[in-house]
Amino acid sequence: MIPYDKRSGKIWYNNDLVDWADAKIHILNHGLHYASCVFEGERVYESSIFKLEEHTSRLFYSAKRMGMTIPYTENDINDASNKIISIQNVENGYVRPTVWRGSEMMAISAQQTKIHVAIATWEWGSYFDPKLKVEGIKLNISNWRRPAPNTIPWDTKASGLYMICTLSKHEAEQQGYTDSLMLDHEGNVAEATGANIFFKDQKGEIHTPIPDSFLDGITRRTVIDIAQSKGIKINQRKISPSELPSFVGCFLTGTAAEVTPVSCIANNQFKVCETIIDLNESYQALVRKK
């Protein structure tokens, strides 16, 4: 795989098209040192960004929650996103808009820093090994928990929130798992390291945690709509880890993960059932407008 700083083409950077290798920031920028950074992850399917407007709106919401005013309109960012995927000729890939504070101040206070915006895009296939998308991925249970909602801006896609996700995923991979299930501050099921989680019970109903301390994913909401259109009952509620043995199916949703079945969480085994396969097929049909 080509390192991300060695790729070619253009990146949209503060309303300019910059050569990929020249899209740089100073080492003393506030975003790096104090996590003053928000971002989005968007999928390109057949040269079209799925749910672009929703992603851009969330980017602006995240920035506002972090006290950052983006110096462009949402339409500007939508246009720039479409422009850069066209310039890069990305047909099926990923888009990463990023907003961060600059280098004018280097301390906790950052009132006078400039707000920077960049948008990069590249061809990208499956987040997980395609074989695992069929067989189901394996999760451990992380020792790290999603923080209480009064301790962080939990409803944003801010870079600092992913520190414990990286730690959790690294530990899971070292133990032979693909990803990690994270619990919330109360000890209930929350999400995986970068995706929301769903369970199917023996009656065919689907259960998913209430997103009250973690991100309510755009893909999560899309899959809920698909399931409800099929007459599947969705139960959004608190889920205790002690309930895991009672579920027969499990899957993740996310822009990167799409719809990915889970074969086990620690010692709890799940089947890649027809319901999950059907939801994935319907999701793929939607994003590719088949």
Q: Which residues contact 111 (CB under 8 A, 6 or more apart)?
A: 105
Both structure tokens of 13: 């950077």
Same domain? 72 vs 196: no
Active site residue 238: no
Question: Residues 267-286: pLDDT tens digits?
Answer: 999 999 999 999 999 999 99
> Residue 129 — pLDDT band, cuts 50, 70, 90?
confident
Same domain? 76 vs 168: no
> Residue 66 — pLDDT band, cuts 50, 70, 90?
very high
In the prediction, which pLDDT does 290 show?
A: 52
CATH number at residue 77: 3.30.470.10
Same domain? 116 vs 16: yes
Listing DSSP states for 19-76 in one string gives EGGG----TT-HHHHH--EEE--EEEETTEETTHHHHHHHHHHHHHHTT---SS-HHH
In the prediction, which pLDDT does 14 show?
A: 98
Q: Which of 30-44, 69-83, 90-104, 117-131 has the lowest mean pLDDT?
A: 117-131
CATH number at residue 171: 3.20.10.10
Of 86, 108, 123, which residue is a domain's last?
A: 123
**Domain ranges, residue 232:** 130-287
Same domain? 12 vs 111: yes
Of 100, 123, 146, which residue is a domain's last?
A: 123
Same domain? 193 vs 245: yes
H-run or E-run covering 183: strand 179-183
In the prediction, which pLDDT does 1 show?
A: 80
Report residue 169: phi and psi, to 5°: -70, -40
Alpha helices in the chain (DSSP H): 30-34, 52-65, 74-87, 130-135, 163-174, 218-229, 274-287
- 164-168 average pLDDT score: 98
Of 123, 151, 175, which residue is a domain's last?
A: 123
Sign of the dihedral defined by the CA atoms of residues 54, 55, 56, 58, in that order = positive
**CB count, 10 Å around CB of 248?**
15
Report residue 35: phi and psi, to 5°: 60, 35
Number of domains in the chain: 2
pLDDT at 175 over 80: yes
Q: What single DSSP character describes residue 158?
A: B
Same domain? 102 vs 135: no
Both structure tokens of 271: 């089947």
Listing DSSP states for 200-219 in one string gives E-TTS-EEE---SSS---HH
Question: Residues 185-228: pLDDT tens digits?
Answer: 999 999 999 999 999 999 999 999 999 999 999 999 999 999 99
Both structure tokens of 220: 């999560």
Same domain? 252 vs 162: yes
Same domain? 109 vs 232: no
Same domain? 174 vs 239: yes
Same domain? 204 vs 247: yes
| Calpha distance 288→229 (Å, rounded) | 18
- 157-178 average pLDDT score: 98
Predicted TM-score (pTM) of the model is 0.96
Choosing from 133, 138, 157, 169, which is the catalytic residue? 157
Same domain? 88 vs 136: no
Report residue 5: phi and psi, to 5°: -90, 0
| Calpha distance 77→235 (Å, rounded) | 35
Same domain? 140 vs 280: yes
Q: Which residues contact 52 (CB under 8 A, 6 or more apart)?
A: 42, 78, 81, 82
